[in-house]
Amino acid sequence: MKKGVLIPIIFLFIINLSSLISAEKIGINIENNFLEGGDVDFKITLYDDANIPMDGMIDFVIKNTYSDIIHQGQITSGEKINFEIPTNSQKGTWEITASYADVNARENFIVDEIKKVDIKLEEDNLVVTNI
């Protein structure tokens, strides 16, 4: 076989082989409980069929308890995101969904309300105020 014919065949083989490598799953790494006004750190990673992290741009959406979209964007696979939960947010189960091509993932996390009290000692009286 001539060298001029072999190179295009090898090139086509590599192109076909690389097209077989595709995203199989998305992993969302997040803790479980957070407070309103606090931060949520999460990482979204794209994996191939051998469970090896892949490069790619992943779309994500953060929804509150009522499925209202609170934040959405696009990140690079493996990138860590810091999201601040707005103060006076609805407590309950929130959701992060991620998608890349036809691969999707969803992960829930809990947002709890901040419970604060103000405690003062005024002379012999203890004054407790619910904030």
Delimit the domains of the chain by residue range. 22-130
**Confidence band, pLDDT 50/70/90 cuts, at residue 91:** confident
| Both tokens assigned to 72 | 């959405």
Residue 116 pLDDT > 70, yes or no? no
What's the confidence (pLDDT) of residue 112? 79
Taking domain 22-130, whether its CATH number is 2.60.40.1930 is answered by: yes
Integer angstrom CA distances of residue 35 from 30, 81, 112, 115, 129: 14, 17, 5, 9, 20
Q: How do residues 16-66 score in pLDDT, each as one tens digit? A: 444 445 778 999 988 656 776 788 889 999 999 889 999 999 999 999 999
CB 72 within 8 A of CB 59: yes
